[in-house]
Structure 1
Amino acid sequence: MTTADGSQRAQGWTAAVRQRLGLGRLLPLGGPADGAWISERAAASVLRRAVGGPGPVLLDLRIAVADAEAAPAPQVPPPPSALPPGPLRIEATMAATAHQPLPAAAATLRAALLTAAAQRLGLVVTELDLQVTELLDTMPEEAEPPPAPEVRPAQPENAAGRAAAGVTGVATLTRVLGTPVHAGADHVRVELAAEGGHRALDVARAVRVAVTRAVDGHPSVAVLVTAVTEGAGAQAPPAG
């Protein structure tokens, strides 16, 4: 087996594990120089909570790179099988009633999704395909917003982990895809949950700066946000 074959098999295995864990795709946050990614599950949870009030109902939601072939190469090594940095496309379906013209209902939901994607997460969304697939006889009662994904807290165990955990907006380190801090010869990857009161991209940028300063040799740093909490965040388990 060649090295390329082994790498492809490892990538496929990682993608399969990620799907089983329910993370979905690993979406780029910001641009090629930001070195940040977020799980599709975490991003979708934030978007659904942002549009969960009265009005049109968001049904299916899918987020992908708008044009993978035209996406620039990342300037920081990405997590395994992560999507390349570049503009994103949201595909969604919605239910509405006759109480509001369908174009107006769609425009309201579209604006809410784009605003939440930019201001709460830092996703660069350039395309949004929204289709009305269901008509309701009556306006549905306002439902409770969906809960944030369950967080698997992890205790920081080294300088990189402690630096990341101390950044404002970090709820906790997590260990969904492995250890919370994956360190190589000249690169570090940090996995974490961000607090909902902070934009995920801003948190990831601050973590990259803190970890680069804390680790000898100042390696490149990538950040993977696996969850966005609703409140102040999950508490890491006690040491030991």
Structure 2
Amino acid sequence: MHKPQNIVILTGAGISAESGIDTFRSDGRPEKQGTWEQHRIEDVATPEGFARDPDLVLNFYDMRRADVQTKQPNAAHHALARLDREWNARADRALLIVTQNVDDLHERAGAQCVHHMHGELLSALCSACLERSPWTGPMIGRPACPQCGETALRPDVVWFGEMPYDMESIYGALRGADLFVSIGTSGAVYPAAGFVQDARSMGVQTLELNLERSEGSGWFDETRLGAASVLVPEWVDEILA
């Protein structure tokens, strides 16, 4: 692999699973069911579900928000934070971490150039004024928006049927990249699952680091299989050497 200048990294649930955060789907073992499988997706991850039963949705995300604050970044998060810091220290290079995850483990590890395309658990979106506010507590009691005072807060999470955040910036970074790396993703959720095809069509080199082959593995120039906490630090050492 040649030495790149501009890198775009996509991270998915697999990178946070080793920190104890439940993934979107189960791994097939009845004792390890994904968080979402306790509820129908239509009930807790759609605007229609929120309109139908807001208490159910608010309580669901309140529990997830409380849980994520008990978790810690793992070796993969820390390795990417190191890469973020050292790579972006030079003016002739650029690195962007695009994450599908709604946790803040990248930031707590020290990464700064992070786009949360599916939103953030520790953020509240006001349906009245459309402003966002940092949020660590519950929403079930209908607290007032810090910006406008209305009791119209919802989780700042992109639900099914809603447009992911920062897509223009993400595609702009992909167009300027010469390496795209996917870490811990299933390759099943679009538009993120299509990034590798977009990258390939523009002649960008592609690498997948994953626990097992994803639905999009065939599109990558290279796939390395193993735990993110092992593969990612090894790759970061390699790219910084």
Q: TM-score range by the shorter chain?
A: under 0.3
Whichever structure has more strand as a proportion of its residues is 1
TM-score normalized by the length of structure 1: 0.26
